């Protein structure tokens, strides 16, 4: 690295690079040997890596990137890992398959296993709509409270999970269909406005007794067959209680008007077939433990 | 602090560093065998420390059913650290921090009293290097023989000596690495599994790493580890002072030095006869007569070497000895040396801190509860309004049982009227009181729900968890949320 033609710095006696900026010249110290050798080694490793691993992206004329001698593929590894995990879960979960839901919830070991499994499954599959811990959102019911449109028992939750809600491909799905009273022309907007007052009056929130009076005929004719005379709802028909403080699609006058005019009829997919039986059972126990299980 | 005693012996002080210096090759050091009391002390310390290292994992300590009975064990699989009667759980890692702080302070204290005795006698690098030099000497002879052998052309004699030395080194390195893994697993099990190929992969991996590091650090790198790799020599400069008893060349007595014939008089000259014995025995390859140096590990072998010569030339021993900078400086000015002060501000502070932290840790260990309670409130949902307007909060209750027996704990809440407590999967015993079983020596988790009437305006509740048998009771105050805040 030394070159006899290079100028020498008079203070240190060392060679300089010969470049000078504003009279400051750089000493031509060699790189530390350990550093240099480490650098050479990394170059060697890079070459070996390029031979063994996928390194060169698809070039024109080549269909794909170079696979490398080791034929490594992260994509394949991930799917392999997922199938391995599923197999492992399957074998760990046979205990869940044989036990009843009640047994799973009361047996310490089974419960711990099911809750741990359910928590991760819930995060992966359910929390997108229902929120972490089942906190719910507008249109997606809270799973941690004691208000259940269909059934809040262990078995009921399992059925809902398996068959979904208004999941038309599943014969056993939970089903109810409120008519689109305004949209389909059964009632006029004025009538629906009055009915909205009537619904508000069920939870003592109406300030227009005349409108309530006008709507009472329509309530009996159109609504009470499903929601009940007092508006208490009916689980067997999937009709919600209209007297409580829980409103899935909002409790404002505008929200209720829209619900009657357009109807809501939201969906939950059937999980049978997507998740294995043990996973569904674990999820049922987990959802039941969130706070509102019956 | 370096005392420049003789100008001619100072190695090229300052000046230009040429390229060849930057890439200077390491000069092989051939330490000569010393004889004397410090060499004896070092042999004893080596025997004791090596025995401790190899024997400790085999000491058994009965802790009860289902718990490892190894006296010293870092059990990573079940996240516990055992040290005789002490058992440390992951959430008590501050005891480990305390232990490390104590170790550091002890090192500080010893350094300010006696210089680098840690480096010179007990540091594993020193102990294993000493052991390796002993083996080297057994195969290749002492300093002069080794230097001759290295210069001689490769022949049968050189070959078998070198091969034998490296084989013996590797053998010791292998046993060093092998013993290390015994501290992380049950020693008899892992030793048996190791030989039959059934031990965990990490055991082979770490044994391999330790084998190689031992072989290279003690066999070929030696003093370079202390001089270039270890941070201690740098820290040491801040910890030692002119009152510390260091291995010191008493230049007041030794200078002017020079070779001396028997017939010559001692009049007008120093006691140092420039025999170079102190340099030849030095495992760091330095000259102690240049004063205290970064490289010096204070192994005191030069004291032994010098004393031997002083006896031979009929002069008092102790030309090189444990002494303080100020004492030597005072004597060289003709003043009486000041008394060695062991109790100084610095040492008193270190000792005080050691006692205080040690007492704190001991108190903590003695008064450690046999169980621990963690109540973690759900973050989502923060609270739930039930159909009747009541407010419900969800909690994860974690019961840590550190005793070796299964227990029954009673769980109840206080601090709010008409509150309702539910433990998922359990039936209430009586008025809002649950009996939860807790497995021996482990952590149990329960899901707990608390329902409070809508009107109660509270922000905290108390969980009371008590052991049904011993009556030990822990109250845990946790937040209760009843509205968006």
Q: What is this model's ipTM?
A: 0.73
Residue B177 contacts by C-beta under 8 Å, 6 or more apart in sequence? B206, B207, B208, B209, B210, B211, B212, B214
Query: Which runs of E-coded beta strand occur in B424-459?
Result: 434-438, 442-452
| B26–A contact, CB cutoff 8 A | no
Please give the mean pLDDT across all residues of chain A.
Answer: 89
Give me the residue spans of the domains in chain B.
246-332, 371-479
Nearest Cα residue in chain B from A154: B425
Q: What angle do CA B192, B193, B195 make, to 5 degrees?
A: 70
Cα B19 from Cα A164, distance rounded (Å): 79
Cα B420 from Cα B415, distance rounded (Å): 12
Cα B20 from Cα B12, distance rounded (Å): 14
Which chain B residues contact residue A106 at CB under 8 A? Answer: 425-426
Nearest Cα residue in chain B from A142: B384
Residue recorded with tokens 């140092």: B272
Distance from CA of A40 to the nearest CA of B (A): 17
Residue B306 contacts by C-beta under 8 Å, 6 or more apart in sequence? B277, B278, B317, B319, B320
Asked if B425 lies within 8 A of A108 by C-beta distance, the reply is: yes
Which chain B residues contact residue A292 at CB under 8 A? Answer: 384, 386
Supply the pLDDT for residue B479. Answer: 92
Supply the pLDDT for residue B3. Answer: 42
Q: How many CA atoms does the CB half-sphere of A20 hold within 13 Å?
A: 9
Architecture of domain A177-262: Orthogonal Bundle (1.10)
Give me the residue spans of the domains in chain A.
177-262
| Cα-Cα-Cα-Cα dihedral sign, residues B255, B261, B262, B264 | negative
Which chain A residues contact residue B444 at CB under 8 A? Answer: 108
Supply the pLDDT for residue B484. Answer: 58
Cα A248 from Cα B30, distance rounded (Å): 86
| B386–A contact, CB cutoff 8 A | yes
Which chain A residues contact residue B16 at CB under 8 A? Answer: 12-14
Per-residue pLDDT of chain B (485 residues; tens, 9 = 90+): 344 443 333 344 344 444 455 567 788 899 999 999 999 999 999 999 999 999 999 999 988 777 888 999 998 888 888 988 888 888 888 888 998 999 999 999 998 888 888 999 999 999 999 999 999 999 999 999 999 999 999 999 999 999 999 999 999 999 999 899 999 988 998 888 888 888 888 889 999 999 999 999 999 999 999 998 999 888 887 888 888 888 999 998 888 888 888 888 888 888 999 999 999 999 999 999 998 888 899 999 999 999 999 999 889 999 999 998 889 999 988 888 888 888 888 899 999 999 999 999 989 888 877 888 999 999 988 999 888 888 999 999 999 888 878 888 899 998 888 888 988 888 877 667 788 888 888 888 899 999 998 877 888 999 999 888 888 888 999 999 987 54
Asked if A289 lies within 8 A of B379 by C-beta distance, the reply is: no
| B380–A contact, CB cutoff 8 A | yes
Which chain A residues contact residue B424 at CB under 8 A? Answer: 105, 111, 289, 293
Q: Which two tokens stand for residue A127?
A: 């929390």
Q: Which value, in Å, is the radius of gyration of the alpha carbons in chain A?
A: 34
Cα A237 from Cα A226, distance rounded (Å): 7
pLDDT tens, A91-113?
Answer: 777 888 888 888 888 888 888 88
Q: At what angle do helices B156-181 and B143-151 cross, to 10 degrees?
A: 120
Residue in B16, B23, B378 nearest the CB of A33: B23
Supply the pLDDT for residue A44. Answer: 97
Q: Which two tokens stand for residue B236?
A: 């040491």
DSSP state of B227: I
Query: Which runs of E-coded beta strand occur in chain A?
Result: 16-21, 24-27
Which parts of chain A register pLDDT below 50?
A: 1
| B234–A contact, CB cutoff 8 A | no
Q: What is the CATH number of domain B371-479?
A: 2.60.40.10
Closest Cα partner for A203 from A240, A178, A258? Answer: A240
């Amino acid at each position: 690295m030394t070159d006899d033609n290079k100028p020498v710095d008079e203070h240190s006696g060392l060679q300089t690079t010969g470049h000078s900026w504003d009279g400051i010249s750089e000493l031509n110290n060699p790189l530390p040997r350990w550093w240099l050798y480490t650098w050479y080694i990394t170059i060697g490793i890079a070459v070996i890596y390029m031979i063994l691993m996928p390194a060169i992206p698809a070039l024109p004329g080549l269909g794909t990137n170079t696979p490398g001698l080791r034929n490594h593929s992260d994509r394949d590894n991930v799917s392999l890992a997922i199938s391995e995990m599923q197999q492992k879960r399957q074998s760990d979960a046979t205990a869940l398959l044989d036990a009843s839901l009640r047994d799973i919830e009361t047996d310490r070991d089974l419960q711990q296993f099911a809750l741990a499994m359910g928590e991760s499954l819930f995060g992966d599959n359910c929390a997108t709509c229902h929120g972490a811990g089942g906190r719910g959102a507008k249109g997606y019911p809270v799973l941690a409270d004691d208000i259940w449109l269909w059934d809040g028992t262990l078995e009921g939750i399992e059925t809902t999970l398996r068959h979904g809600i208004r999941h038309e491909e599943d014969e056993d799905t939970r089903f109810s269909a409120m008519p689109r009273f305004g949209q389909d022309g059964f009632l006029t907007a004025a009538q629906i406005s009055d009915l909205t007052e009537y619904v508000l009056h069920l939870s003592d929130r109406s300030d227009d007794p005349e409108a309530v009076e006008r709507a009472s005929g329509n309530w009996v004719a159109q609504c009470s067959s499903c929601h009940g005379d007092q508006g208490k709802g009916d689980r067997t028909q999937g009709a919600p209680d209209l007297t409580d403080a829980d409103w899935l699609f909002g409790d404002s006058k505008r929200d209720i008007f829209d619900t009657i005019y357009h109807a809501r009829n939201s969906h939950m997919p059937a999980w049978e077939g997507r998740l294995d039986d043990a996973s569904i059972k674990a999820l049922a126990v987990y959802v039941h433990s969130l706070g509102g299980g019956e | 602090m370096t005392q420049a005693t003789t100008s001619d012996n100072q190695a090229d002080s300052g000046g230009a560093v040429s390229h060849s210096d930057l890439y200077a090759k390491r000069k092989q050091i051939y330490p000569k065998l010393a004889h004397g009391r410090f060499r004896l002390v070092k042999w004893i310390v080596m025997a004791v420390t090596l025995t401790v290292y190899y024997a400790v994992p085999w000491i058994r300590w009965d802790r009860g059913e289902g718990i490892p009975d190894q006296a010293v064990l870092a059990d990573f699989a079940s996240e516990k650290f055992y040290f005789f009667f002490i058992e440390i759980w992951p959430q008590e890692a501050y005891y480990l921090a305390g232990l490390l702080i104590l170790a550091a302070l002890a090192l500080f204290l010893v350094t300010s009293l006696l210089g680098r005795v840690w480096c010179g006698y007990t540091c594993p690098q020193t102990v294993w290097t000493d052991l390796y030099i002993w083996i080297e000497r057994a195969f290749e002879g002492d300093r002069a023989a080794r230097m001759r052998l290295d210069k001689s052309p490769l022949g049968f004699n050189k070959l078998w000596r070198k091969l034998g030395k490296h084989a013996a080194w590797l053998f010791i390195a292998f046993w060093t690495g092998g013993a290390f893994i015994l501290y992380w697993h049950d020693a008899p099990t892992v030793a048996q599994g190791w030989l039959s190929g059934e031990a965990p992969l990490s055991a082979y991996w770490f044994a391999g790493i330790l084998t190689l590091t031992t072989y290279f650090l003690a066999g070929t790198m030696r003093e370079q580890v202390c001089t270039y790799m270890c941070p201690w020599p740098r820290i040491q400069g801040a910890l030692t002072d002119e009152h510390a008893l260091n291995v010191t060349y008493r230049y007041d007595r030794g200078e002017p030095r020079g070779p001396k014939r028997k017939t010559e008089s001692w009049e007008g000259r120093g006691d140092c006869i420039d025999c170079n014995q102190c340099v030849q025995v030095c495992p760091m390859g330095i000259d102690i007569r240049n004063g205290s140096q970064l490289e010096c590990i204070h192994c005191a072998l030069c004291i032994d070497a010098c004393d031997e010569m002083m006896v031979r030339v009929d002069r008092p021993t102790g030309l090189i000895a444990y002494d303080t900078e100020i004492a030597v400086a005072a004597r060289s000015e003709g003043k009486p040396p000041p008394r060695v002060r062991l109790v100084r501000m610095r040492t008193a502070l270190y000792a005080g801190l050691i006692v205080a932290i040690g007492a704190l840790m001991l108190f903590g260990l003695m008064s450690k509860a046999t169980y621990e309670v963690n109540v973690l409130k759900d973050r989502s949902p923060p609270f739930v309004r039930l159909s009747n307007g009541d407010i419900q909060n969800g909690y994860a209750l974690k019961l840590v049982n550190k005793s070796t027996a299964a227990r029954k704990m009673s769980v109840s809440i206080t601090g709010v009227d008409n509150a309702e407590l539910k433990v998922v999967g359990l039936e209430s015993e009586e008025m809002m009181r649950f009996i939860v079983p807790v497995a021996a020596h482990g952590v149990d988790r329960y899901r707990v729900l608390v329902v409070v009437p809508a009107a109660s305006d509270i922000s905290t509740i108390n969980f009371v968890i008590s052991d049904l048998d011993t009556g030990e009771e822990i109250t845990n105050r946790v937040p209760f949320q009843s509205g968006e805040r």
